[in-house]
Amino acid sequence: MTSHASFRLEIAACLWETVLNFRDRPPTDPDALQRALAIHRAFDRIGADSLRPIVLSWTPKIERAWQDVDDDCPFGCDWAYIGRWMVENVDWTHPHHPVLHSDMTGQDAEQAPPTGIGEAASSAPTDTASCQDHLALLARARSAIEYPDDLANHARTQLIAEIRGAEDRIERSPLPWPVHLHAAAIEHRYGTNIHAAIDAATLDAEIAAWCRDWWKETGDERDPATLDDETVIAVYFDGHPSDGCAKDQLQVVPPGLKATSTSEPVEMGRYCVLSTAHLTVQTAGLLDGWASWPPTERPIDIAASVYGWFVPTRSLEEARQAQLPADLLRLMAFGRSRGFQFLLLDCDGDRSDDLPVHDW
């Protein structure tokens, strides 16, 4: 997971925690007690399942607000900051749907018309809707149907416009918002197989199914149907240095929509750390020597670290494999079968029970 995604998850968790704390453990001042009662009414009317996506949809707004005060703020972006932000920005006076004091154009609440059920923070539908935005829209629509008498005319008009915008997005593309896909490329002697799935477990199931089809080539006498997917994948590719499996996670952006992230794309990769004890002393000497050679003369692209080497796990042609010792090929296959693009061989790295250990 990237640090950007992790930061957003932290904000979302603190948001929901703040709502629960404001509801259940308010300070004794009148404003806090009034806010706690309003939050209780919102929970009673629309329920936690409908309220949660509305609250989580504020995550990008807090992230942008935090970027503006990060350098001047003595405390971190934690519960304390988010609590202050919520006090200053969220209006809980309507029991059906909390709204923000200002919309995405920066319009102040005093200048905007009164809010009600179905009224969103934005004044018009956009093409950057996320799954959370869509869930929040559905929650407002359900609340409006359940309590039609509480829906102001201007709020009804805005809700209809947002639903129409969601319909337009779905008409333009069967996928109305960007999603992350888990993908894998299996390289073998007959070519390359490409697999993709919406989650890692489904992707592993597809890879394992392919491995079971070719299981006889492993020489393993166990029935692959009795083994879990992770074991099947590891055993197959550990026994096939010429075959490889590389995994990656991709963002798929439907045509006509903008990516959810405004940051520049950054190339990322995965590596695992293994002890140099999984190498023989002879291979360690070879790696030391190759690291000092000109890049064009090395049998494999490696880089020396302080206490070991970075080694790519990608498959090599047979002529190149013939120049590498068996223990190094085994480690590369080990990392490749588990979706790692690089190995960091380090003297302080962990030892794996699935690999031979050499004392030197």
All structural domains of the chain with their residue ranges: 3-172, 179-252, 271-346
Whether residue 311 contacts residue 274, with contact meaning beta carbons closer than 8 Å, is answered with no
Residue 115, pLDDT score = 36
CA angle 237, 243, 247 (to 5 degrees): 75
3-state class percentages of the chain: helix first, strand second, coil last, to nearest 5: 50, 15, 40
* pLDDT at 125 > cutoff 50: no
Whether residue 342 contacts residue 309, with contact meaning beta carbons closer than 8 Å, is answered with no
Residue 120, pLDDT score = 39
Q: How many residues does the chain have?
A: 360
Average pLDDT, the chain: 78
Residue whose entry in the numeric block shows the structure tokens 């929901």: 16
- Average pLDDT for residues 22-42, to the nearest whole number? 85
Sorting pLDDT into bands at 50, 70 and 90, what band is 336? confident
pLDDT in tens, 143-188: 788 778 767 777 778 888 888 878 877 777 777 778 888 898 888 8
- The pTM of this model reads 0.42
Query: What CA–CA distance (Å, rounded) separates 182 from 186?
Result: 13
Q: Which residues pair with 188 in a beta bridge?
A: 191
Alpha helices in 120-199 (DSSP H): 131-146, 153-172
Sorting pLDDT into bands at 50, 70 and 90, what band is 257? low
Q: Which residue has the higher pLDDT, 187 or 131?
A: 187
Query: What CA–CA distance (Å, rounded) separates 205 from 158?
Result: 44
Sorting pLDDT into bands at 50, 70 and 90, what band is 110? very low
Q: In terms of DSSP bridges, do strands 308-312 and 303-304 run parallel, antiparallel, or are they unpaired?
A: antiparallel
pLDDT in tens, 181-211: 889 888 888 888 999 998 889 999 999 999 9
What is the percentage of the chain residues whose pLDDT exceeds 90?
16
Residue 268, pLDDT score = 57
Whether residue 106 contacts residue 65, with contact meaning beta carbons closer than 8 Å, is answered with no
